[in-house]
Amino acid sequence: MFSIAAPAIAQNPAVTTDPAPDKANPPTTVTFLMPSHGALLNAFVYVASGAGPHPTAILLHGFPGNERNLDVAQSMRRAGWDVLYFDYRGSWGSPGDFSFTHCIEDAQAAIAWVKDAANAKQIRGDGKTIVLVGHSMGGFVAYEVGARDPSVTAVVTISAADLGAAQLLAMPEAQRVAALKTLAGSLAAEGMAPLTGTTADALAQEVLTNASAWSFANLAPQFANRPLLVLTSDDGWEPVNDALVAAVEKLGNHAVTTVHYATDHSYSDRRIAIQEDVVKELGTIGGK
């Protein structure tokens, strides 16, 4: 494991400097409706400058998605990466019912979209080099989808949240009813207004039903041979991420980088720093 600290001043040109104009293949934004399990999700791609073919980062937002990390997306694009962003079913105007299971399925649909030859040509992508970048619940999705799909090149997580699965598993069964009420209250406090087709109680029950399957501790074998960048903050999600990192390293993976920041869940005063971290990680994989 390599643990690094934030630089005082941003140094990477992708974070600090606009690219030289490319009149033949300028950066652009492609908007479209992405198919997933019968729904058409709101989506767009930040297409990088240059003829490519470019690698692709799929940016996965959290719950409910107030922080979209589009500043990170722009830096990734300046670093030569196409960036696909979408809203899960039942969130922010995308049709369908929201659930954590649907979020996983929608991320898998995004990977399929990127791999499609016609879509790759449209965004000047290579259709092969795919990195999942997820914040909070999006980090949970990145881990779960990356573990299921060995074609995913690498995974980057920013305060990945296991949705309380580890805590529920550790509790005696008699205490779980009260814990579900607490979890539902926490989800409701995050803001359910952008979501449709669900309730906080239903989402809490979904976590309990899938707690064992979604436990980060069970994912380590699937990440034994792939790069991971794991960013954490003082929001309480560090222990579950540290446990996964320790398990992955125990299996011999030395391509794991961790960075911890004394900041909030949205990294409100470390936005430049996390852009530096992500761009640096992607630079070891592809892009400029």
Indicate the average pLDDT of the chain. Answer: 95
Long-range interactions of 115-119: CB distance < 8 A, separation 24+: 115/151
Percent of the chain with pLDDT over 70: 97
Question: Given this model, what pLDDT does residue 6 score?
Answer: 46
Sign (positive or negative) of CA dihedral 88, 147, 159, 227: negative
Distance between CA atoms of residues 66 and 195, nearest Å: 12
Region for 164 from its dihedrals, namely left if φ exceeds 0, alpha if ψ lies in -120 to 50, beta otherwise: left
pLDDT tens readout for residues 227-247? 999 999 999 999 999 999 999
Domains of the chain as residue ranges with CATH: 2-283 (3.40.50.1820)
Q: Is the pLDDT confidence value at 2 over 60?
A: no
